[in-house]
Amino acid sequence: MAPAKIVLERTVPPGGEGAFGAWLEGLLASARETGALEGSSVLAHDSERFVLLRFRTEAELDEWRNHADFALHPHAISTGLETWFTLPGHPLPRVPPPRWKMALLTWLALMPTAFTLSHVVAYVLPHALVLPVSTALTVSALTWLLMPNITRLVQRWLYPRR
């Protein structure tokens, strides 16, 4: 079985390092209690903190995530796709859009882009280069052009006011 990893994101306001440290110690103690925690790291960028945890298996990670202490912080779970669904100039929202919305929008942007670029590149480059070049162009288009604009267009659907 492959190890399972999770990334937790927190914004630490000025003067909030002590509270973050206490939260982190509690989080790590909770994860260690499972006996399945294989490692952890904390990365910092400005006021953002990213906590990376590695568990032996996906099942043990899921068991820990369902633990009462962790359930108090469900908004911290990151799939990695959330960054495509942030509005330029705005911080990553505390609660990401539902995964089905992120998957649907990604597919709607990915499918026509990959299809079109693979056919266009096929006319220009040798067969062996079509897949690597068309996928590189597709990922670039999604990251810097399509997803920021799509997110802006459907922001009310992605992030409805509660």
Domain map (residue ranges) of the chain? 4-78, 99-158
The three-state secondary structure class of 115 is helix
Rounded average pLDDT per 10-residue block, the chain, 162 residues: 85 86 88 90 89 90 73 51 69 73 93 95 94 94 91 88 64
Residues 6+ apart with CB under 8 A from 48: 9, 10, 11, 12
What dihedral angle (degrees, nearest 10) is formed by the CA atoms of 65, 69, 75, 76?
A: -70
Helix %, strand %, coil % of the chain (to 5): 60, 15, 25
Specify the pLDDT at position 64.
86
Q: Which two tokens stand for residue 158?
A: 């992605």
Specify the pLDDT at position 74.
47
Residue range 4-78 in CATH 1.20.1260.10: no
Specify the pLDDT at position 162.
55
Specify the pLDDT at position 133.
95
pTM of the model: 0.52
